[in-house]
Amino acid sequence: MGFAFEVGLQDEGFFDAMVRMFEQALQAIGALPDAQRPACWLRLDAVRQRCHDIGY
């Protein structure tokens, strides 16, 4: 996502794939034991924050 942000990539298929991957990450984190979730949520939130200004 950093590359897409810096270059201004406007490929709809790329963004669709990123949304699907984010969903898969959410599901994977949800399946982890409670003790392992917080660190993963923090990492995924960092990705979410980085992507906030990308797209329309």
Model pLDDT for residues 2-49, shown as the tens digit of each residue? 666 666 667 778 778 888 998 999 999 999 999 999 999 999 998 888
48, 19 Cβ separation under 8 angstroms: no
The owner of tokens 């897409």 is 4
Q: What is the pLDDT of residue 43?
A: 92
43 or 51, which is more confident = 43
Read off φ and ψ for residue 32, nearest 5 degrees: -75, 160
Q: What is the pLDDT of residue 55?
A: 60
Q: What is the pLDDT of residue 1?
A: 65
35 burial level (CB within 10 Å; 0-12, 13-18, 19+): exposed
Q: What is the pLDDT of residue 51?
A: 77
Confidence of residue 56 (pLDDT cuts 50, 70, 90): low
What lies within 8 Å, CB to CB, of 5 at 6+ separation is 50, 51, 53, 54
